[in-house]
Structure 1
Amino acid sequence: MTDLCPVGGGDAWEVTVVSEPFTTGSEDVDTAVGRLQEQARRRDWDLVVGLTELPLHDDEGRHLLVTTDPGEQTAVLSLPALGGLRMRARARRAVRSLVSGMVDANSNDERRVALPRRRGRWRLLVGMVLANRPWLLVPGLKSALVAALATGAVATINSTVWLLAGTMSWWRLVVATVASIALAVGWLVVDGELWDRPDDDSPQARERSRLYNASTVVTLVVGVLICYVALYVVNAVWALFILDPHVMGNYLQTPLGHGDLFVVAWFVASAATVGGGLGSGLESDEAIRAAAYSKREQDRRDRLAHDRKPG
């Protein structure tokens, strides 16, 4: 689409917005800049700013927020490096600053803004996780959701489950929670083939893979944790609606109250999470990747897998 907007109070600019995927290797900043410059020459643009959901890095392995080449009137901004929070407002300010800076620049030297080594890596990781939208993981895996709900519904009215839940201390319930989430995440990684492998043995390639794998694991943990909380609420409401704890207590010959309903719902949520993770095995690998990643990251991994195929 095109629009007219003033930059720095000067003349109006005609702005063209183009959305298309970067190909494999565009995490390297020189590659990304080169492809933008090629676009600018082909389309006869005076100035080009590229926004990417990929993390950018240079030859030294540093993660970059932005790189500019005033001589070629080209800049690349990594959106995950902004941190993920208030992304639109931050990106808008950054683009205006880049455009104004390149227009007013008196030097043709390339400038790069690198992220701090430790704090910047965490900010980049948060941006990548939020770009993956982990809250959409469960709705994207319909088979896993059905399996989890079915497991929870059956387990809630099972007398053996009530007896087991009544014998478990709080720390054992916590261990069951952690174990169920870990099992579900591990199964999704293995079954969906989500583990990223380095392109070569260089330290930069290994660092990139560690970053992508960390974002994958955190995305899945957040998504499964959201699923766990939702299952707990559903199971608790279901138990309160259909069960009378006093009747169940008489059947089991043990005193039960409404507080035991929430303990059972906690225990059942762990079992249902494992059931949901196993239910994801009914989904295709493409469906799992679509649920776990943003569209850009999914395209990047699909292209990378295609490039690695022999021939």
Structure 2
Amino acid sequence: MCSNIVKIGLVAAPGVTEKIAQHLKKELPELLASHFTEDKKWQIETIIDPLTGSAETVQKIFRKISDYQNNNEWQYTIGLTDLPIIRNGNAVAFDINSGNGASLISIPAYGWRPIKKRLQRSILGIIEAINEDNKSTMTQTQDKSEEQLNAQFPFSNLVTTTEYFEDTNSQHTLYYVSSNTKGSFRLISGMTFANNPFNMLKSLSNVVAIAFTTGAFGIVFTTMWNLSFVYSAWRMLLIMLAAILGMMVWIIVAHNLWESSKESNNKQITMLYNLTTTLTLTVSIVFYYLILFCLFLLASLVVLPSGYLGQTLQLNGPANFITYINLAWFATSISTVAGAIGAGLNNESQILESTYGYRQKQRYQKMNEDEKERAEREEDAQDEIKAKKQESEAKAKEYNN
């Protein structure tokens, strides 16, 4: 290997983190070359491993990425996980193994978008921190890397601590968000982004169709006109919240999305999973509600003449735009309940894949299958070696006789 080539290995979890790693593979070399003045050629290699997104403890991940580092002769190895890393009640953003320089980045610690540029600069800071640790440079230079990493977390401060991990038999430098409240908020919003609520929204497409069909039939009758006109804003708001909450509960119960804390080894992680599922569903259903509202507003404007609507509601003149908004609002809330009860999901797997618990189970299943296949291959190899040995012994015995 040429001395001027620097290899960086990115070990990412499947899903959103995998996509981020592919973007980094394309954009990091140029950024690294412009940041570090040395005449080096930066080479980025990526490996997708389910363990990076399924291990409940970071020690398991570090053992795996250290193996990748040794086998591939990487100078720097960075694990990208969509799991929350919590240490002593704090949300950890970066974990650097001082023994071999392998590091781990928790994507949810960044919070909601945008994170691509911040992640690139974080990797620069991590590489600087590793170089400083190897060279044992002065504190002033170390402060520069910490400042670089801190800058990627606006409105928060990162605190650095050093701990010894028995599983890796080395010291680890942890960077965590100083405020537990801000750290929890970042984790939940970041995990919601990793769940991709807009992907979940795709599975609600046939619910939108059924809900719109139900509501469109109702808006031609005067009962809905009169109720939407006489109801106060507070009553309409209450109906909307009840419809959204009812749909959310229906999806959670119907598809068993709630994680039981009794079956969990880490109740704090389970609570984060459930909060994230709730927030992901909330975002998806709110967008579903807005789409349905726009459809009803357009339908009412096209189908119902303003003069006739105003005359039916005994107004002094034609119905104004607010009247149409109230009618669309009421129709959306009522049809949301009807659509949720009467429709199945278009693609149940998309709902399940947008939850951490299901993805964890799928990744563990994939790991177990890979482990089983590897064990079977090793057993076949051993049987082949044993058969060859027996054959060799038989030939030797025949020769001696």
Task: Flag whether TM exceeds 0.5 (same fold).
Answer: yes
Per-residue displacement from partner, 1:34-88 (whole Å, max 9, x unpaired)? 2211222233323200111221123x34321110013212000011101223200
1:20 maps to what in 2?
A: 49
1:71 maps to what in 2?
A: 99
1:241/1:253 CA distance change after superposition, 3 Å:
closer
AA aligned to 1:169 is S
Q: Is the 8 A contact 1:236 1:265 kept in 2?
A: yes
1:110 maps to what in 2?
A: 172
Distance 1:16 1:306 in 2: 22
Distance 2:267 2:203 in 1: 30
Q: Is the 8 A contact 1:141 1:287 kept in 2?
A: no
Per the TM alignment, residue 235 of structure 1 is displaced from its structure 2 partner at its CA by: 0.8
Equivalent runs, 1:221-300 vs 2, <5 Å: 221-248=282-309, 250=311, 252=312, 254-255=314-315, 257-258=319-320, 259-283=322-346, 285-290=348-353, 292-293=354-355, 299-300=359-360
Per-residue displacement from partner, 1:147-172 (whole Å, max 9, x unpaired)? 22212322222222222222311111
Per the TM alignment, residue 25 of structure 1 is displaced from its structure 2 partner at its CA by: 4.5
1:52 maps to what in 2?
A: 81
Q: Is the 8 A contact 1:25 1:31 kept in 2?
A: no
Distance 1:307 1:42 in 2: 20
Distance 1:253 1:35 in 2: 70
Structure number with greater CO (CA < 8 Å, separation at least 6) is 1
2:149 maps to what in 1?
A: none
1:305/1:140 CA distance change after superposition, 3 Å:
same
Out of 212, 215, 227, the residue aligned to residue 276 of structure 2 is: 215
Per the TM alignment, residue 245 of structure 1 is displaced from its structure 2 partner at its CA by: 3.7
Distance 2:364 2:207 in 1: 27
Per the TM alignment, residue 211 of structure 1 is displaced from its structure 2 partner at its CA by: 0.6
Identity %: 23
Distance 1:171 1:304 in 2: 47
Q: Is the 8 A contact 2:85 2:106 kept in 1?
A: yes
Per the TM alignment, residue 139 of structure 1 is displaced from its structure 2 partner at its CA by: 2.5
1:288/1:99 CA distance change after superposition, 3 Å:
same
TM-score (norm 1): 0.85
1:38 maps to what in 2?
A: 67
Q: Is the 8 A contact 2:95 2:174 kept in 1?
A: yes
Distance 2:182 2:106 in 1: 16
Per the TM alignment, residue 96 of structure 1 is displaced from its structure 2 partner at its CA by: 1.3
- Counterpart secondary structure, 2:109: helix
Task: Identify which range, 296-305 or 15-24, moves more after superposition.
Answer: 296-305
Distance 2:319 2:197 in 1: 36
Distance 1:276 1:123 in 2: 33
Q: Is the 8 A contact 2:264 2:270 kept in 1?
A: no
- Counterpart secondary structure, 1:281: coil
TM-score (norm 2): 0.67
Q: CA RMSD in A?
A: 2.8
Distance 2:187 2:341 in 1: 31
1:112/1:266 CA distance change after superposition, 3 Å:
same
Distance 2:59 2:314 in 1: 70
Gaps of 5+ in 2: 1-21, 137-169, 369-401
Task: Identify which range, 101-110 or 262-271, moves more after superposition.
Answer: 101-110
Q: Is the 8 A contact 2:273 2:357 kept in 1?
A: no
Per the TM alignment, residue 93 of structure 1 is displaced from its structure 2 partner at its CA by: 0.5
- Counterpart secondary structure, 2:259: coil
